[in-house]
Structure 1
Amino acid sequence: MNDIPILMAAPMPATVIDALDRHFTLHRLWEQPDADAFLARHGAAIRGIAANALAGRIDAGLFDRLPALEIVANFGVGYDNIDARAAAERGVMVTNTPGVLDAEVADLTLGLLLATIRRLPQADRYVRDGRWPDAPFPLSPTLRGRTVGIIGLGAIGKQIARRLEAFDVAIAYHGRTRQRDVDYAYYDTPVALAGACDVLIAIVPGSASTQHLVGAAVLDALGRDGIFVNVARGSVVDEPALIAALQSGTILAAGLDVYADEPNVPEALRALDNVVLLPHLGSASEHTRAAMGQLVVDNLTSWFSQRRVVTPVPETA
C-alpha cells in the first residue's frame, strides 16, 4: 500500500501522521505553499483523504478535483465537515470514529455541568484574585432536585444519562423518535423537553436538520433557573439568542464546549460571568485522541487491503 497516495488536509496527531506515512504515500496539504496548485498537479492520483474539523469543508467541489478518490476517513465522530451525501453519489466511502470517544465526552459533560452549576471557575478566580479573606464566596445553585433533559439520546447521550443516574436526578430526553428500550421520559419537541426540565444538555450531530435546534423558544421554555450545556456542535444553537438569554436572565447559566465559529468565541460570551467556556475539549485526552487516530488508520488500511472499513457513516454504509 506504500504507493497509494493519501491526502491529509490539516494537521493530525503525530502518531496518526507517522502511521499513515508507514502505510501510504502521505501528502500534507497544509504544508503546501499553494494548495490549489498542488491539487491541480496531484489531485488526479489521490485515492484517500484523512480529514478532521480543521480541514474545512470537504464537499463536491473537492471531490470533483479528486477523480480517483475512494475514501474519506474522518478524525472525529461528527462529520458535518464532510458532504457525505455527495460522497455517496460518487461511490466514495466516508468513515468516522464513534465509540472510542463516547466515555470521554460523557465525563467532560458531567464536569462541565457541575462547573456551571456550582460556579467552579468563578470560585477559582475568586481565590486567585485574593478576595476570599474579604468575604466568603457566594452560595451557588445546586444540582439537587433538578430534572435534566438530554437532546440526542445516542451512544454518548446514553453514557451521559447513566452518569447522571448516580446523581439521583430525574432524566428526560428528546430525539427524532421514542426509544422503546429507554425508561426516561420522552418529549417530542425540544421546547416541550425544555419546559419540563431545568437543565438541558445538547448532544446531537451537527447537520441541516439540527441547525439552531436550540433557539429563543427553547431557552424561554427552559426558564430563569435553567442551565444549558452544549457538547454537540455550535451550529445546534442560535448563538445570538443564547447570548441574549444569558444577558437578560431568561436562563440562569450555560456551559459551552462548542461554538458557531470556532475558535472565535464572541466577546459578548467571554464577558459574561454566568457562562463557563471550554475550548472544544470533549474528546481531548491523550488516551482518547490516540484511539481516534488509530481508528482513522485502521479504516484506511482496511479499505485498501480488504475493501471494507471498520466504522462507515450511515450515508455510505
Structure 2
Amino acid sequence: MATVGATESSAVQSDSNRTGRVLRVGPLKPSLMDTLAGDYDALVLPDVAERDEFLARHGESITAAVTSGRTGVDATLIEQLPNLGAIVHFGVGYDTTDVDAASARGVVVSNTPDVLTDCVADLAVGLVIDALRQVSFNDRYVRAGRWVAEGNSPLTSQVTGKRVGIIGLGRIGSAIADRLTGFRCSIGYHNRNEIADSPYTYSPTAAGLAGSVDILIVAASGGSGTKHLVDSDVLDALGPQGYLVNVARGSVVDQDALVERLADGRLAGAGLDVFADEPDVPEKLLGLDNAVLLPHVGSGTVETRAAMEALTLQNLDQFLADGTLTTPVTR
C-alpha cells in the first residue's frame, strides 16, 4: 500500500514550508484547540462568508492543517493553500478529506489509528447487547411506569452463540471479533480481499455475508468506495430476524432503506452510533423502540480522546520537524 502524498523518505518539505503557519479547520477537542492556539499560534479557518478574504491574506503562509473526520479538508481548500504540506486528523476517519487531491499535490495525511480501537470495539459489543436484549428500551419501560401498569416487558434475544458478520475486518473489526468470540459467536467477514490465515469465514459479497448471519456489524472505513455498501439488498438478506450495528460511518449504510425496514419489521433491530447527516437523525428513526441511537461516541472516553490528542500533536510536531508523519494514511 502506498502512503498518501509522498513516502517518508521523499515527504520532507522545505524548511520554509515547515516553518509556516498551522491552520485549524473545524471544531476539535477543547484542550487540543487551546494547545493549537497557545503553543502553535494556529490560525482558525473562518465561516464561508469570510473565507475568501482570510485565505487571500493567510493562505500562502499555511503549511499544516489540523482537522477531524467530521470536518476534513476538501479539494477546494487544498487548492487555496499553495504551500500546504500536511493534513493532520484528530480521529481515525478521514473520508471528509479529499485524499486524492492531497496526494496529487504531494500533501501528506495522517490520522490517529490504534488508540481508539478498544473503545470503539467495546461500544460495538455494547450496541449488540443493547439491540438484542433491548436494554435501552427496558430502561425506558421502567421509567415510564409501564412495568407496573403493563407487567413484564416482551422477551428478547440472547447474544451468546449468535452468528456474527463483520464488514471491514481491520483493526476495529478484528477487535470486535475477538470480543464476540468470548460470547461463543461464530464470526464471518467481508472485505475487498480475503485475509490470509484469518480464523474467520470470508464472504466475497456483503449480501452473501448478511444472508448467513444473525448480526451484521459495520466497521468499514467511510468514503466513496464504501458509500451504501450496506444497501437494500444487503438489508433484505439480513432479514426480519437480523440485527444491524454500525460503528463506522453513516455513509456506509443506505439510511433510508434501513429506517424503512426497521419500521415495517423487515429487520429485527439496530444499534447505531453513526448517521448519514450528523447530527441530524431521521424523525421516523427517533420513534422506533427497536433502534438504539447514540451520538457518535465510539471513541468518546477520557482515556481514548487524550491518546488521540497526543497522537495528533505528535504527527504535527514530526511534520514540522522533518516533514514526515508518525501515522501516515495509506491507500
After TM superposition, the score normalised by the length of structure 1 is 0.95
Partners of 1:197 and 1:33 in 2: how far apart? 49
Q: Which runs of 4+ in 1 moved over 6 A?
A: none
Counterpart of 1:193 in structure 2 is 209
- 1:28 alignment partner AA: V
AA partner of residue 117 (structure 1): L
Match of 1:131? 146
Secondary structure in 1 aligned to 2:281?
Answer: coil
1:150 — aligned with what?
166
Matches within 5 A, 1:55-204: 55=71, 57-134=72-149, 135-204=151-220
Tell me if structure 2 keeps the 8 A contact 1:101–1:288. yes
Specify the code of the residue in structure 1 equivalent to 2:133.
R
Segment of structure 1 superposing worse, 21-30 or 179-188: 21-30
Which residue, out of 235, 248, 251, partners 1:219? 235
Change (3 A) 1:31 1:176: closer
Aligned-pair CA distance for 1:31: 7.9
Q: Retained in 2: the 8 A contact 1:98–1:311?
A: yes
- Structure-1 residue corresponding to 2:4: none
How far did 1:144 drift? Answer: 3.3
2:88 aligned partner, one-letter code: A
Q: Give the residue type in structure 2 aligned to 1:108.
A: L
Q: Does 1:5 align with 2:21?
A: yes
Q: Is it true that 1:305 corresponds to 2:310 in the alignment?
A: no
Partner of 2:280: 264
Identity %, equivalent residues: 46
> Could you tell me whether the CA contact under 8 Å between 2:90 and 2:309 is conserved in 1?
yes
- What runs of 5+ residues in structure 2 fail to find an aligned partner? 1-14
Aligned to 2:44: 28
Q: Is the 8 A contact 1:4 1:25 kept in 2?
A: no
In 2, are the aligned partners of 1:174 and 1:189 still within 8 Å (CA)? yes
In the TM superposition, 1:39-58 aligns within 5 A as 39-55=55-71, 57-58=72-73
Deviation per CA, 1:88-136, whole angstroms, max 9, x where unpaired?
1101111001010000100010011101110011101111111222311
TM-score normalised by structure 2 residue count:
0.91
- 2:305 is aligned to 289
* RMSD (Å) for aligned C-alpha atoms: 1.7
What SS is found at the alignment partner of 1:200?
A: strand
Task: Give per-residue Cα distances to partners, 1:70-101, cap 9 Å, x unaligned.
Answer: 10001111100101111011011110010100
Provide the rounded CA distance (Å) in 1 between the counterparts of 2:275 and 2:37.
33
